[in-house]
Amino acid sequence: MKLKKLPWLSAGLFAALLSGNVAAQTDSAAATAEVGKNSLPLDELQAFAEVFGQINSQYVDPADDLSLLRDALHGMLAGLDPHSVFLDAEAFEEMRVSTEGQFGGLGIEVTTSDGLLVIVAPLDDTPAQRAGLQPGDMIVRLDGVAVQGDNLRAVTNRLRGPPGSKIVLTISRRGQRETFDVTLVRAIIKVSNVKSEMLEDGFAYIRITSFHSQSGANLRAALAQLQPSDGELNGLVLDLRNNPGGTLHSAVEVSDVFINDGVIVSTRGRNPATNQTFSASARAWSAEVPLVVLVNGGSASSAEIVAGALQDQQRAILLGTQTFGKGSVQTVIPLQNGGALKLTTARYYTPSGRSIQARGITPDIIAEQVNAQTQTQLSRNQVGKPTREDDLFGHLENDQTTTQPEPAKDAHNSRFAVGHAETETKPIAALQRRDYQVGAALNLLKGMSLVKRRRENSQADSANPAAAGG
């Protein structure tokens, strides 16, 4: 049997890969040395061309050449790690729009693990969140059709659709023996990613649901509205739970709101161009207001950058549960055909030098979510065990094999666990009543504020003995 396309295809693939290697040589001297050490795998290229030809001539139904090549690109990227993907022109545009804070769909961040589609986090005020979907839920069928083994791009296309159209997700949740169906109505997702309210006089709450280009500006605007006219807040709860992340620069901007100086995050990769250090710009809204940051297994990527920076700089106390552990940086590289390559190019590191890849960040205070009304801890069967980065098939390994430097073990960074809710004798606001972790954070801030006032009064008495009766 003659495979007429083989010579053209083999030569074309060879030329394309060779041109890619030549282009890579211009990136850096290190890249040049790397390329020089490796020769092109000609046998494998020939095998690829042969398989392509066999599919084209022997497959039961006619196969579209363009679809086959795109599927090959998807598979090549999927073999690297769960976050490197090929984006066609349509997907590239959708990604660009989503980073600006508005996109269509269901409102869930998903990833793949060993052929399974896993929810990282549902976004607030979206069809997915209102339906009760949780981090760690596995989507096993879409409209009755199994998704196992599908690539992420193909599944994402099936999740999207015209606003108002319905889709049925079959969910498998850890701790529940049977799967169950959830019917969602697609909508235009407009992410109001910063929400704020006053918990009590002097104590504020801000939630960031995701990170995009306007996150830093939206946070500063929210803080300006919460700022008392007669001075500063007594404390602030920053909620990063179930925040799937976003852009690196937005995480730096948010961290910069609370840190006056020092490193926020650094990135290191094989290409020296990816080695960067991002530092605070002395434009902090306040470097003094006590801050408690809430995190959990759905806090990923940019949310972990912020949490790690505030913890290492001893600017905040972290309360909640272990974070997701996505400590890698993806660079979007536009391609000549209008698409793009979203490629993992570096790992990021907290100010103390910790890599959280596949490990996550450990809160200063471990506080499982409990039912604040009944004061009973929710069981694993009720909330499920969240999927983390190190559960994902093919995840990037943490490059730190030795013990990582930990934040300073002082009064500000002590580790202890909270396993129950204390009895509340006074009426509390609705949010604290609904959400035990918010209530725990508020009580912690009250204690910090009380200690601060007593210290200030003691210093004032020492400076004025007459007023103190001396």
Q: Say if residue 380's pLDDT is above 80.
A: no
Tell me the DSSP string of 40-57.
--HHHHHHHHHHHHHHHH
Of 190, 246, 175, whose CA–CA distance to 216 is shortest? 246
> pLDDT at residue 20 above 80?
no
Residue 100: band (very low, low, confident or very high) from pLDDT cuts 50, 70, 90 = low
What is the distance between the alpha carbons of residues 63 and 45, in angstroms, rounded to a whole number? 20
pLDDT of 411 over the 70 cut: no
Q: Report, as an integer, the average pLDDT of 406-417.
A: 43
Look at the pTM and tell me if it is higher than 0.85. Answer: no
- 98 or 304: which leads in pLDDT: 304
Q: How confident is the model at residue 111 (pLDDT cuts 50, 70, 90)?
A: confident
Weakest mean pLDDT among 182-191, 207-216, 288-297 = 182-191
Which tens digits make up the pLDDT trace of 224-269?
Answer: 999 998 888 999 999 999 999 999 999 999 999 999 999 999 999 9
Taking only the tens place, the pLDDT of each residue in 360-373 is: 999 999 999 986 55
Reply yes or no on whether the pLDDT at 415 is more than 90: no
Instruction: Give me the catalytic one of 10, 172, 326, 364.
Output: 326
Give percent of the chain with pLDDT exceeding 90: 56
Catalytic-labelled residue, pool 84, 210, 301, 355: 301
Q: What is the pLDDT of residue 90?
A: 83
- 312: annotated active-site residue: yes
Among the listed residues 137, 150, 312, 435, the single catalytic one is 312
pLDDT band, residue 37 (cuts 50/70/90): low
pLDDT given at position 432: 77
On average, the pLDDT of the chain sits at 82
Question: Is the per-residue pLDDT at 382 higher than 60?
Answer: no
Residue 327 has pLDDT above 80, yes or no: yes
In this predicted model, which residue has the larger pLDDT, 10 or 231? 231
Share of the chain above pLDDT 70, in %: 79
With a cut of 90, say whether residue 401 has pLDDT above it.
no
Residue-level pLDDT at 266: 98
What pLDDT, on a 0 to 100 scale, did the predictor assign at position 24?
36
- As a whole number, mean pLDDT of residues 132-152 equals 89
Please give the domain boundaries of the chain with CATH numbers for all domains: 42-78 (no CATH), 102-190 (2.30.42.10), 194-455 (3.90.226.10)
Element (H, E) at 343: strand 340-349
Mean per-residue pLDDT for 79-96?
88
Which pLDDT value is given to residue 345?
Answer: 97
Segment 317-326 mean pLDDT: 97
User: For the segment 61-75, what is each residue's pLDDT rounded down to a tens digit?
Assistant: 999 999 999 999 999
Q: In the numeric block, which tokens belong to residue 159?
A: 């999740």
- pLDDT-derived band of residue 384, with 50, 70 and 90 as boundaries? low
Q: Is 404 left (phi over 0), alpha (psi -120 to 50) or beta?
A: beta
pLDDT single digits (tens) 424-438 = 334 444 797 789 999
Q: What is the pLDDT of residue 469?
A: 52
Query: Is 470's pLDDT higher than 80?
Result: no
SS3 call for 185: strand
Contacting residues for 348 by C-beta, under 8 A, at least 6 apart: 248, 265, 266, 267, 305, 327, 328, 329, 355, 356
* pLDDT at res. 159: 87
Based on the residue annotation, tell me whether 326 is a catalytic residue of this protein: yes
pLDDT of residue 114: 78
What is the rounded CA–CA span in Å between residue 140 and residue 176?
14
Is the Cα torsion angle 372, 373, 377, 378 positive or negative in sign? Answer: negative
Q: Which of 165-174, 255-264, 382-391, 405-414 has the lowest mean pLDDT?
A: 405-414
CA distances from 249 to 252, 264, 275, 287, 325 (A): 5, 11, 15, 20, 18
Which of 16-25, 94-103, 349-358 is predicted with the least confidence, judged by mean pLDDT?
Answer: 16-25
Residue 230 is predicted with a pLDDT of 81
| pLDDT band at 336; cut points 50, 70, 90 | very high
